[in-house]
Amino acid sequence: MSRQIESVAVLGCGTMGSGIAAASAAAGCRVLMLDVTADAVEQALQAVDEGDRHLVRTGTFDADLALIADYDWVCEAIVEDVAVKQELFARVEPLRKDGSVISSNTSGIPLRDIAAGMPDRFQADVAITHFFNPVRVMKLFELVPGEQTTPDVIEAFAAFGANQLDKGVVHAKDTVNFIGNRIGCYFMLSGLHLAKPFLAAGMTQETIDAVLGKPVGLPPTGLYGLIDLIGLDVMDLVGKNLAVNLPDGDAGHAYTSFPDAEQRMLERGQLGRKSRALGGFGRVQKLDDGSKKKETFDLVAESWRDATAPDLDGVPADLGAVLFDDSPQGQLAWQVFGGTLRYAAGLVPEIADDIVNIDNAIRWGFNWAQGPFELLDTVGPDRVSAKIRAEGAEPPAMLQVLEDAGGPSFYRGGHYLGRDGAWHPVTP
Ligand code: NAD
């Protein structure tokens, strides 16, 4: 029997839940919004377009949980705490109608932990539906089945995500941080550490952000600007989760905690844009004459200074070419961005069955111009492998699969290279 999603009960209407509710209502779905207090739901309702509010019913967990019996999809988006999520799911499960599907929007708790001890019907109907913030803007929608989730459940979520919500569906596995955040957070956390020798040698944070921006196809926020957006507090939690859940031997273990200066920022509450006057790696000061001044928190001096222009002198303009440039900027790009490409190329099939899901997740979740494998194709995978070998290391798994398959690129003629060394059609 195929499943149809035409209505959604959203449990927890904070940042993510209100976005999921608003997007679903905008797609013409009936929506139920429940939260701990009526006030919280009323506030969340403001996120729904006025013209869609007739589709929305609101209530609280204590008074109105039984209403979920009338909805096709029960979508949990409450606090990131496994015990709290388990408790809510245990209350919800007996109330949910047969044939409905159920999901968690967790960013990092394994589905097997959330579902532990739940009945068979739950195990068959549950998945992780991982949206990115802000829900209505970000295209990425990661779907993660549990061990017993039936294929029609994933098909129903994929169809709803693509057709009703206009999302880019990515099929991920029940591994820590799924796809987008596994690679994106490796970039950020490894970047903070690997940038240190360059900072010590006098490279500015503005230059580091600029090198790790357009020259490699990333948004202008680069490294520090991106962490300022996300918040050091969130990155700290991500690091702690990685430390516990990364597989043994994963390169990410080296980067699960902050370098000293960043740790001191966290302890001071200097978390990023959310900290306003305290700032993060940068801040904007309002001057008495009404004008604004951009400042940078200098990580070496650990004090504020005026922002400076980045030094991109001589950095090649062609996408990714900086990776092979012999300048300090080129070395930085190779270590931080090249290191992230290497990391990604070692994660098939651990986090995804194929390179297409990885490329899509990174383009849609982090707004890179090209996903890691597309970018490798752009710069030449053979050049990357040669550079890795010149440093005395072995290229990661997918680069070796490509070599064995005779290269020269991961994509050719509408096909992609599989982990099995064969070429498979890229389906839209
Ligand atoms: P939020 O803090 O904005 O909202 C959390 C919601 O949980 C609120 O509605 C709150 O009332 C409710 N809540 C708090 N304590 C509760 C309890 N004891 N029982 C039931 N409900 C309770 O959080 P958010 O950013 O919307 O995150 C929600 C989920 O989505 C989390 O699992 C988070 O990891 C995940 N997520 C967040 C982001 C993001 O960027 N914010 C992105 C992807 C996934």
Instruction: Determine the residue of 13, 16, 235 to mutate for testing ligand 1's pocket, defined as the one with the most ligand atoms within 8 A of the Cβ atom.
Output: 16
User: For ligand 1, atom 4, which residue shows the shortest CA distance?
Assistant: 14
> Are residues 33 and 56 in contact, defined by beta-carbon separation less than 8 angstroms?
yes
Please report which confidence band the pLDDT of residue 407 belongs to, taking 50, 70 and 90 as the band edges: confident
CB 251 within 8 A of CB 264: no
Nearest CA, atom 12, ligand 1? 78
pLDDT at 387 over 80: yes
> How far, CA to CA in Å, does 427 sit from each of 344, 356, 416, 420?
21, 9, 10, 18
What ligand 1 atom has the least distance to the C-alpha of 133? 40
**Is the pLDDT confidence value at 286 over 60?**
yes
Angle ∠(326,332,337) on CA atoms, nearest 5: 115
The band of 318, judged by pLDDT with boundaries at 50, 70 and 90, is very high
| Banded model confidence at residue 13, pLDDT cuts 50, 70, 90 | very high
**What is the pLDDT, as a whole number, of residue 1?**
55
Structure tokens of 417? 């290279």
98 DSSP assignment: T
- 18 in contact with ligand 1, CB cutoff 6 A: no
Give the integer Cα–Cα distance in Å for 169 and 124.
20
The 423-425 sheet, strands edge to edge: 411-412, 415-417, 423-425
Q: Is 372 in the pocket of ligand 1 (CB under 6 A)?
A: no
Looking at residues 371-399, what average pLDDT do you find?
98
Reply yes or no on whether the pLDDT at 180 is more than 80: yes
- Average the pLDDT over 52-60 and give the result: 98
78 close to ligand 1 (CB < 6 Angstrom): yes
Residue 36: CB within 6 Å of ligand 1? Answer: yes
Q: Find out whether the beta carbon of 180 lies less than 6 Å from any atom of ligand 1.
A: no
Length in residues, the chain: 428
pLDDT at 276: 85
Query: Does the CB atom of residue 38 touch ligand 1 within 6 A?
Result: no
Q: 106: closest CA among 237, 223, 246?
A: 237
- Amino acid letter for position 199: L
pLDDT at 141 over 90: yes
Q: Which atom of ligand 1 is nearest to the CA of 17?
A: 26
16 Cβ below 6 A of ligand 1: yes
Q: Which residue CA neighbors atom 2 of ligand 1 most closely? A: 14
d(CA 125, CA 206): 48
Average pLDDT over residues 359-373: 98
Atom of ligand 1 nearest to the CA of 81: 32
What does the pLDDT average to over 328-351? 98
Q: How high does pLDDT run on average in the chain? A: 97
Q: Is 398 in the pocket of ligand 1 (CB under 6 A)?
A: no
Q: What is the mean pLDDT of residues 166-181?
A: 97
For residue 381, the model assigns a pLDDT of: 98
Q: Phi and psi of 368, rounded to 5°?
A: -70, 145
pLDDT digits (tens, 9 = 90+) for 229-280: 999 999 999 999 999 999 999 999 999 999 999 999 999 999 999 998 899 9
**Pocket lining: 403 vs ligand 1, CB cutoff 6 Å:** no
DSSP symbol at 351:
T
246 lines ligand 1 (CB under 6 A): no
